[in-house]
A = this chain, B = another copy of it.
Amino acid sequence: MNINKPVLLIDEGKCRANIQRMASLCADKKMSFRPHFKTHQSLAVGKWFKEVGVSKIAVSSLSMAEYFSKEWNDILVAFPTNILEDELINHLAQRIHLNLLVESLETITLLADVVKFPLTIYIEIDTGYHRTGVYFNDYQVIDSILEVIKNADCLSFGGFITHSGHSYDCLGKEEVLSLHHINKNRFLQVKSRYIADYPNLIISYGDTPTTSIADDFDGVDELRPGNFVCYDVTQVQIGSCDFKKIAVVLACPVVSIHKERGEIIIYGGSVHLSKDLLKWQDKGVIYGLLAEKTEEGWGEPIENAYVYSLSQEHGKIKMNESELLKYKVGQIVYIYPIHSCLVISSMRGFTTLRGEILDVYRGL
């Protein structure tokens, strides 16, 4: 493969193994699996999910639902419904089984007024993340939303969803498990309160850290993680995966070497990697780690080699002097991303290790 500028490489084998692992977990625990496609954003990668029996998905915007509606018939937009897109809502609801997320009386009231085709409503529950959602014990708001759904011709109630996004702040498996314990129990309280009135309701759970680490999902009906499909350095730091499971790297040309500062400069900056960052061991803030190149793709991280600064198109990499001597201008280096969702959104396309370019959603 001829790489001469920043290219996002995807290792299909690693990616398919990540998909299979999560699908098996769901099968073992008798949960349904509604993977979140906001990470890979790709119809081509979506086909790998179909091959393990997945038939319903989550996405993060109505526009993304439109992209996936070409090949998927059961789509949940896991984002508070944007009432301004009522035309697109109706367009999609007419063609596919559309599931929307609501977390306020205000939105469900507006929605009930404009919807012309049947769709399913999930109520988002806040089990502690405090981004969006009705707080798990705020039954008054939940009841008021349910009342509007009951009285609306085109709306039916599907169940509850939660996203424990604060699991991304955990360091290590124990912290993730403790948080999972709290969140799942809060979520089950909601289920137990409403299951008598709505015996078919499902509760949909799932962020990548808890679904990668936890084993106890008793009472959960559906898992909905997204990031696990490619993983990234953030997930390694949390404890969700090891480096072997990271299925994407950004391949970047070396354009300059500054031995006096122990630095190489790559063509690969914030427009490619995004500005997502984390504090890594004793290195301070980093924007990526270097991966060893192997015959098959990439292996372990290169010791002490990391992206420590980004401009629009420049990446600055620090590394040990002995390592630095191996590089020349015009070589390609591989960067494990900090956050795979954002690098994929920035790059708007994957290239497989066989050089095939995969179709990706190009909207926003």
Contacts and interface: CB of A to CB of B under 8 A. Distances in A.
A339 B83 CA distance: 29
A345 interface: yes
Interface string A243-285: 0000000000101111001000101001110111100000000
A80 B265 CA distance: 9
A326 interface: no
A314 B104 CA distance: 16
A330 B84 contact: yes
A256 B329 contact: no
A312 interface: yes
Per assembly, the copies of the chain total 2
A212 interface: no
Contact of A330 (B83, B130, B256): B83
A132 B265 contact: yes
A38 interface: yes
A255 B82 contact: yes
A303 B65 CA distance: 36
B330 A364 contact: no
9 nearest A-B residue pairs (beta carbon): A4-B84, A275-B275, A80-B255, A80-B256, A271-B345, A83-B330, A60-B313, A106-B329, A82-B267
Interface of A: 3-6, 38, 60-61, 63, 79-85, 103-104, 106-107, 110, 130-132, 165, 253, 255-258, 261, 265, 267, 270-272, 274-277, 309, 311-314, 316, 328-330, 341-342, 345-348, 364
10 contacts: A5-B61, A38-B312, A38-B313, A61-B267, A61-B313, A79-B313, A83-B253, A106-B329, A131-B316, A312-B341
Given A38-B312, A83-B253, 4 more contacts: A4-B85, A80-B255, A83-B329, A270-B276
